[in-house]
Chain A
Amino acid sequence: MPTAFHIVVCAGIVPDPLQSLEPVMGPAGPALKNEMLLPAVLDPWAASALYEAAHLAATNPGSKVWLVSMAPKAKLQQVMMTVAQKAAFELVAVDGPLGGFIDAHATAAALADAISAIPGLDRTKLLLFGGWESASRGAGVTLQLIGERLSLFDQFQGVDQITVREDGSFEVLERVEGGQHQVSICSGAPALLGWATGNLPEPRSNPQVGMANMRTVMPALQKAKPAAVAAPGLHYDAAQLPAQQRQTRVEKDMTPEDIARELVAWIGAE
């Protein structure tokens, strides 16, 4: 018998990976130059979590997906125009700052409060999803901190697969060192899963799903509460781009034989 889950996906938005990033120091700490003007996308690993959540909900009737995201409302609306076509969800928007230099502890507190306030969320059915790390802060701690605040003590990180069993328990594959997965069996919800890549491709955009989602996205954005994410104890002393630029030797005329011989010597050298 299928198990109904209430799946909450935490997902931030990040600059498009193809954009050049330049840090600037301000009175409140570092930020990205022209941050609000940079094209943004849903955080890649969190996007994997959303696609896995949508798939899990589709295969377990009675399940529902919420997408919880904190960003400036205008930026969030821009990203939702694309994301809303990928999977069915109900948006829970938190109006807060963007960027990797925002403190994870304050962010987690704001998101945990937003999740706690979701009407109709059944904590006994809760699966809290998100990316195991973001492409901005990349610390891998926000989801854990939210989990502790919500008393979720079955947590998994670097998840690539969940397989739900008949009795509602599930098997989880987590990435560990050396290209291996740790295999765990959890007796069922509630639990927290920080996703790595998963196994699903990015869904094709579906305008019908997008239109259905947008009926709830716009009201969610309008009523998004501002979040205070100050971290007075956190001090940035510097933020800079790596200085290293290599003097590249480009060999256009070497034969495969010569290249191979040079590489053999290079590989063997200490």
Chain B
Amino acid sequence: MEPILVLTHADETGATLTRASLEAVSAGQALAHRLSAPLVLGVVAADAAAANALTSTGARILAVTGPDFAQPRYASDAAALEALCRAAVPSIVLAPGSSRFARVAAGVAHRLGGQIDTHITALAGASTLEVTRWFYRQRIEARLHRDGAPWFLLLEPGTNAPFASAAAPATVEPVSVTLPALRTTVSGLRAASAGEQTIRPDAKLLFVAGAGWTKKQSDGQVHAAEAGQIILGFLAKTHASLGSSKSLVDQGSDGQPVLPFLTHMNQIGQTGATPRHPKGLATCCHGEEPHVVGWRFINDRRAISLDPNCGWTRGKADVVYIADAFAVLTRLNELLATQ
């Protein structure tokens, strides 16, 4: 059988593979074993030392390295991945569904006359490959397979255990790349909001704030500033990641009271993110379908809402507390502070 190629890339240090890349490696090992296919690993990094983490796989390692590949950019990354694929001649290409590879993988598949599917959550099948992914923003789950090769599959981060082994000097086959004229320069990263970063992909808890935080409270007044302090206090004590409903984020452009640390990147749901965290706590949001589709991969869900008929109570959360989130979170912060 033709080989299975796993594409990986380094993080911003240039010398360490990303966690999502290592997850793809472990998925590739399992698939290669199941299909009795040879495994080839491809590395894109500034520094070839990034491949040292893969030495114990025993697989053939190809690498495109150098300063041109230190930062994500379509033209250079597409050329790098195309060169790795042409060197390996694979039938199946696995890659992490990171922002870097999600930007270029489809273009590379096209260049090689292949096909691509993304957001893959499971690889199945005994002698052939069948994959699982979601459609309609996590509302319908489908299993599919394709004829033809190469078949590119971008694996959803968080769906496989990362490959872990002690680093050792790797035997790497360098792959040369002829770059096109580069018209784009990457100047760096910029936080989406001023102040402390509130989006924490590795957090154990997702805390979601809904529009109710900035509505009139029982005294007839809006307490947006107090809401902001309570929420930030909770995040500081629990190191939770902050999500938001669309309606709360949109209030900024509608001229209504806002929580200044929220951006569209905090948004969860139909037009936002679908993060992966073990637990999630929703506060002051209705739990309706367009929002809850963003909770598909949150295992343990609790919600605080004043509305006993809110969407969360209809089989979408494990526990729903019918209560005032201001009062509960204020007391919760006090209790957490004593720990």
List chain A positions with a Cβ less than 8 A from chain B. 14-15, 17-18, 20-21, 23, 30, 44-45, 100-101, 104-105, 135-142, 144-145, 147-149, 153-158, 160, 173-188, 196-197, 200-201, 232-242, 245-252, 254, 256-257, 259-261, 263-264, 266-268
Q: Quick one: CB contact mask for B189-230 with A, threshold 8 Å, 1 for yes? A: 111110001111100010000000000000000000000000
Closest to A135 in B: B137
| A18 near B142: Cβ-Cβ < 8 Å | no
Asked if A136 meets B135 with Cβ closer than 8 Å, knowing A157-B102, A239-B142, A242-B141, the reply is yes
In the complex, A221→B3 CA distance in Å?
47
| B137 near A138: Cβ-Cβ < 8 Å | yes
B28 in the interface (beta carbon within 8 A): no
A29 to chain B, nearest CB (A): 9
Of the A-B pairs whose beta carbons lie under 8 Å apart in the complex, a sample of 5, sorted by A's number, is: A105-B115, A136-B136, A153-B180, A234-B144, A251-B321
List chain B positions with a Cβ less than 8 A from chain A. 71-75, 78, 98-100, 102-107, 109-111, 115-119, 130, 134-137, 139-148, 180, 183-193, 197-201, 205, 238, 250, 253-254, 263-267, 270-271, 279, 281, 288-290, 296, 300-302, 304, 308, 312-324, 327-332, 334-336, 339
| A249 near B319: Cβ-Cβ < 8 Å | yes
Residues of A within 8 A of B201 (CB): 177-178
Residues of B within 8 A of A180 (CB): 189-192, 197
Partner of A179, one of B117, B265, B335: B265
Interface of B (DSSP majority class): mixed
| A179 near B266: Cβ-Cβ < 8 Å | yes
| A179 near B197: Cβ-Cβ < 8 Å | yes
Asked if A201 meets B314 with Cβ closer than 8 Å, knowing A141-B118, A251-B320, the reply is no
| A264 near B184: Cβ-Cβ < 8 Å | no
Residues of A within 8 A of B184 (CB): 154, 184-187
Residues of A within 8 A of B102 (CB): 140, 157
Residues of B within 8 A of A183 (CB): 186-190
| A235 near B145: Cβ-Cβ < 8 Å | yes
Most B C-beta atoms less than 10 A away, residue of A17, A147, A156, A235: A17
Besides A139-B106, A179-B191, 15 new A-B residue pairs in contact (Cβ under 8 A), listed by A number: A14-B136, A135-B137, A141-B106, A144-B110, A176-B189, A179-B265, A182-B188, A183-B189, A233-B115, A237-B142, A247-B315, A250-B313, A259-B332, A260-B334, A266-B302
Residues of B within 8 A of A18 (CB): 288-290
Residues of A within 8 A of B314 (CB): 248
Closest to B272 in A: A197
A81 to chain B, nearest CB (A): 22
| A237 near B130: Cβ-Cβ < 8 Å | yes
Closest to A246 in B: B315
Partner of B264, one of A196, A240, A246: A196
| A248 near B315: Cβ-Cβ < 8 Å | yes
In the complex, A17→B107 CA distance in Å?
29
| B318 near A259: Cβ-Cβ < 8 Å | no
In the complex, A241→B134 CA distance in Å?
10
Partner of A256, one of B72, B103, B301, B324: B324
Closest to B338 in A: A264
Residues of A within 8 A of B301 (CB): 246
Closest to A255 in B: B323
